[in-house]
Structure 1
Amino acid sequence: MLLSEITDRPVMDTEAAQSIGQVDSLVITPRPAHITALRLKKTNGGGTLLTWQKVHAIGPDAIMARAHAQEGADEDITEQAAACRNLLGRRILSERGTEIGLLQDIDFDSESGQVQGLLTSSGTLPGQKLIGIGSYAVVVQDS
């Protein structure tokens, strides 16, 4: 699944059967590259982050989250979430400092949250090459 496919998709609380927001972007942890949280926009109470553990299912029309999904989500991953703000369009650099291109999309497994690939302006990089995410660039292993 691609980040672009779930952007703006509503996130529903399974217990209250109401929307708690819409997907804005992903919070990713490198090594191994996986989704830590979904960043939400237009939230109804709670925080703006939904930890991956509280994502119940990603359906074609909505993302289902466990009851009280947003409680305490912001506390542990605030710094990481700040670095992952506005990932798409960010520069991709090799660990030697060579610019590889721009991040156009992120391919991930919707069950496990594992990042499978980074779609760039110059091709696709395997997710396991991701070694760092900063406010300036995404850093990947040299080939």
Structure 2
Amino acid sequence: MTRYTDIHRRPIVDTGSATTVAEVDGIVIDPATATVAALGTHGRRDHAVVHWPDITGVGDAVTVASSAAVRTADGRAAELSGPQHDPLRKRLLTEAGNEIGRVVDIDFDPRSGRIVGLMTESGTVDGERLIGCGSYAVVVRGDG
């Protein structure tokens, strides 16, 4: 498993040219599927992302097959991009409205992009409980 904070500011490398094309500067999650839809970037152009299907590896660097993978968000990633959907530092609420804490990190599977856990100051909430992420909070199923 990989934590978002472990890859934040890591290079995004084009494996064909072995050059850095951007760096990781955000995470776009899709609550409907509890997966990473894209990674936000810094260094090439404003508001560019790398869509999850374009990522070939996640380790000491994030690898992509081509620099063209760094592009403007489209489809579901475009709907979920932007600061209003950034899950980090937001309140983590249950669907009953009870606050669990604030999201301090996101644990995900580097192969599939599946959200494994939403980490708070006091513990981790299973990623499968994820329902939504908006401007005010991240919401999860259940009340425990």
Give TM-score scaled by structure 2 length.
0.88
- Structure 1 partner of 2:123: 123
Match of 1:10 in 2: 11
2:7 aligned with 1:38, yes or no? no
Shift of 1:98: 1.2
Secondary structure of 1:23's counterpart equals strand
Deviation at 1:47, TM superposition (A): 5.5
More moved, 24-33 vs 111-120? 24-33
Aligned partner of residue 138 in structure 1, secondary structure: strand
Q: CA deviation at 1:46?
A: 8.2
Structure 1 partner of 2:58: 58
| Residue matched to 1:110 | 110
Q: Equivalent residue of 2:16, what SS?
A: coil
C-alpha separation between the residues in 2 aligned to 1:116 and 1:57? 17
RMSD: 1.6
CA distance in 1, matches of 2:59, 2:101: 31
Deviations 1:67-121 (A, max 9, x none): 12124x4122222012433x22111111111111000110000011000011112
Partner residue in 2 for 1:29: 30
Q: Which ranges in structure 2 are unaligned for 5 or more consecutive residues? A: none
Amino acid at match of 1:57: G
**Post-superposition offset of 1:15:** 2.1
The corresponding residue for 1:141 is 141
Give the 3-state SS of the residue equivalent to 1:135 in structure 2: coil
User: For 2:59 and 2:30, how far apart are their aligned partners in 1?
Assistant: 23
Specify every segment of 5 or more residues in structure 1 that has no aligned partner in the other structure, as ranges: none
CA distance in 2, matches of 1:75, 1:126: 28
- Secondary structure of 1:116's aligned partner: strand
Which amino acid is 1:19 matched to? T
Three-state SS of the structure 2 residue aligned to 1:112 is coil
Q: How many residues align?
A: 139
The code of the aligned residue for 2:7 comes to: I
> The residue matched to 1:113 in structure 2 has which SS?
coil
Distance 1:47 1:104, change over 3 A: closer
Q: 1:8/1:142 Cα in 2 relative to 1: closer, same or farther (>3 Å)?
A: same
How many percent of aligned residue pairs carry the same amino acid? 37
1:89 maps to a residue whose letter is R
Give the secondary structure class of the aligned counterpart of 2:81: helix
